[in-house]
Structure 1
Amino acid sequence: MTTRRDLIKLSAIAAAAAAFPPLAWASKPGPVAKADKPLNILILGGTGFTGPFQVDYALKRGHKITLFNRGKRPSPEWPGEVEQLHGDRNTGDLKSLAGRKWDVCIDNPTSLPFWVRDAGQVLKGNVDHYLFISTISVYADGSKPGINEDAPLAQYKGKDAMAETQENLRADIENLYGPLKALSEAEAHKQFGKNVTIVRPGYIVGPRDETDRFTYWPHRIAQGGEMLVPGDGQDPVQIIDGRDLGEWMIRLAEAKTYGVFNAVGPKDLLPMDTMLRESEKVVGGKPTYTHVTPEFLEEQKVGEELPIWVPRQAGPYAGYGQVSNARAIAAGLTYRPYAVTVADLMTWFRSQPADRQAKLRAGITREREAELLKAWHARKA
């Protein structure tokens, strides 16, 4: 039940959001050229984060789109006709796909190998090209910079990968997510042969990002005041706008580009301080940045509460800010300006209901930040 105090708080948040200055750089979508050859594309999922960007771009390119999902999420307004098929991959209900043919299948949501196996059994011989969204978490060693697509993959240590469920995955995501994605990649090749494209993103950001992992930073910057920043400001950050990822996948389908690609960005190195100051140019806020050491954060038991950031010097994920994207760029991956990503993300976020903006799903609270800053200054005194 919403109390009077809640209503006052939400009203204050809405008023504060309205008080933010207009964002610089906000983008206006331009015309999209038609593809040379229209494709019949099946998208498994399609209503989550990146799927709608794929659908929107594909329709504008002149392709025919079919979505397959459980129908649990409302579909956005599409700029064209979209066929909707329903089923449930958890229960093996793929009847609506049987006997149909498509040029391309894009598999967005799969984290379990049996989902790929079941899709392959229904679609085998009826799909010419299979594109699978994986993750850089498939790599066995994330501690070293320069990880490329040929690096060894994480090994599954359970009893039966095909018996794993979403419940198991949620219960032990740190140990299961990467290995099960790696096995899903292997199953894709088993089911669809050489006509497979594996795309491995890292952090996906931009409008529609419900995780708030990246949103925390420009949102906090816009609030101003003294702001805690982890590390020395030189730790590299890798993110990719969901629109850049989604649109590139459609172009991979058009070109029949097969292989494995790290879909990370931006194109060039993005140190933490650069990320913050470039965000400040868009959202304003004029905070003062106080850098604290990784050792201090470890002592204060601050782990993933500060999202996106990983220290570059040491740790099991130290290489995650420096994954090689050379192969993807050579295959046509492009990036819109960082400022546009930030502006469009914050425009979207500030359009959300006040209660959605009230509590970010990632990052530390202002109260926790104040405690940490007080402890840091006391130590330095």
Structure 2
Amino acid sequence: MVEAAKARGYTVTLFNRGKTRPHLFPDIEKLHGDRDPNKGDGLKALAGRAWDAVIDNSGYVPRIVKASAELLAPNVQQYVFISSLSAYASHTTPGADETAPVATMADPTVETMGKDFENYGPLKALCEQAAEAAMPGRVTRVRPGFIVGPEDPTDRFTYWPARVERGGEVLAPGTPLDPIQIIDVRDLAAWLVAVVEARTTGIFNATGPGEPLTMGGLLDTCKAALGSGANARFTWVSAKFLEKPGGEPVDLPIWAPAEGETQAFHLRSTERARKAGLTFRAVQETVKDTLSWWKTLPPERQAKPRAGLSPEREAELLRAWRAQPKSAGKLPQ
């Protein structure tokens, strides 16, 4: 985000606690405090300051978003809030757009994500509403899907190109035709700057890529990006088998079962954002750049990805899958 704004010639100010990677961006202004006004110096560093626009990319609790939006309202023309596609109440309707109902909570004062992060989506929806209440008509609510690309600390997308590069038998979830939606962080950042330039407000689903993508297409793209030396082979394992084999959840990032409650999670309409200028680079470029960045990390970091299956867990699941009776609905290899 910072790089995209700087590339367009804007003066950027960062507000954070100053604890995580404080060495980044030594040439721009940094204000330190806390999003929570009840902690430390809170939002004091923002008081009395004016900016053309604010991009809030770390709002998770409505009370906290309300505090910053209300403080900034007199001195900011536009408030861009980064929400999530998880803010929607349902993920079962293919092509659902921004008019779809958002998730709700029985107790809107709850500020914890919940054991299974079940409150994440409803809290994001409430954060959107808090920002809009503070700055009516001046808020841009952006609902991204999976944000991917170089520098992604979650390793959710990175797991796949790194795993394909390692080669051998790869556990591929679901079916090759299961839909996938992702957006390269650089495409999202460039579009957010454009949204600020145009003073565009409203609600936008922000995910991609430019053409329909499937899980099979993603894995094939990873393999193609590696060139002729790639020897990965994909074994497709059904969503039903992967629910909780042995009573344990399976971490297969990015993918969501194309059935049941998540059947349309990766089928959101992005027409509104596209009309507002959102464009996408090729998935192969994202794969190559992500893998290039991954290889710059220390070996000990690469040895412990933060998402996906360990080699041992993957091998265990593949053995269990092959042991299934033929009537279990196996897919051809």
TM-score under structure 1 length normalisation? 0.80
Give CA deviations for 1:277-316 in whole Å, capped at 9, x if unaligned: 111111253211111212222362564511111121x221
What displacement does 1:66 show? Answer: 0.9
Structure 2 residue 34 is the aligned partner of structure 1 residue 88? yes
Q: Deviations over 1:218-260 (max 9, x none)?
A: 1111111111111221001111111111111011000111110
Paired residues, number: 320
Instruction: Give the aligned partner of residue 222 of structure 2.
Output: 279
More helix by share: 1
The structure 1 residue matched to 2:273, chosen from 306, 325, 328, is 328
Gap regions ≥5 residues in structure 1? 1-53
Report the AA paired with residue 227 of structure 1.
V
Q: Is the 8 A contact 2:37 2:67 kept in 1?
A: no
Q: Comparing 202-211 with 91-100, which one deviates more in the overlay?
A: 91-100
- For residue 45 of structure 2, what is the amino acid of its counterpart? S
User: Structure 1: how far apart are the matches of 2:17 and 2:244?
Assistant: 44
Deviations 1:351-377 (A, max 9, x none): 111111111111111112212222222
Q: Distance in 1 between matches of 2:74 and 2:160?
A: 46
1:311 to 2:269 alignment: no
Question: Quick check: 1:205 aligned with 2:148?
Answer: yes
Offset at residue 350 of structure 1 (A): 1.0
Contact 2:243 2:250 in 1 (8 A): no
2:87 is aligned to 138
Residue 298 of structure 1 aligns to a residue whose secondary structure is coil
Rounded Cα–Cα distance in structure 1 between residues aligned with 2:183 and 2:59 = 19
AA aligned opposite 1:362: A
Post-superposition Cα deviations, 1:95-115, rounded to whole Å, max 9, x if no partner, equal 111111111011010011112
* Alignment partner, residue 282 of structure 2: 337
What amino acid sits opposite 1:130 in the alignment? Y
RMSD: 1.7
Kindly report which structure 2 residues correspond to 1:93-242, keeping only aligned pairs within 5 A, or say none. 93-158=42-107, 160-161=108-109, 164-165=110-111, 168-169=112-113, 171-172=114-115, 174-242=117-185
The alpha-carbon deviation at position 73 of structure 1 amounts to: 1.7
Residue by residue over 1:23-76, the C-alpha shift from the partner in whole angstroms, topping out at 9 and shown as x without a partner, is: xxxxxxxxxxxxxxxxxxxxxxxxxxxxxxx11111121111111111112246
The structure-2 alpha-carbon separation of the partners of 1:65 and 1:295, relative to structure 1 and needing over 3 Å to count, comes to same
Query: What's the secondary structure of 1:270's corresponding residue?
Result: strand
> Percent same amino acid among aligned pairs?
45
Within the alignment, does 1:66 sit opposite 2:8 as a pair? no
Q: TM (normalized to structure 2)?
A: 0.91
Structure 2 Cα separation of the partners of residues 333 and 102 of structure 1? 24
Matching residue's letter, 1:326: E
Q: 1:304 to 1:137 in 2, by over 3 A?
A: farther
Return the letter of the residue paired with 1:212. Answer: D
CA distance 1:305–1:190, change in 2 (3 Å)? same
| Cα distance in 2 between the residues matched to 1:330 and 1:225 | 42
Q: Which amino acid aligns with 1:308?
A: I
Change (3 A) 1:213 1:244: same
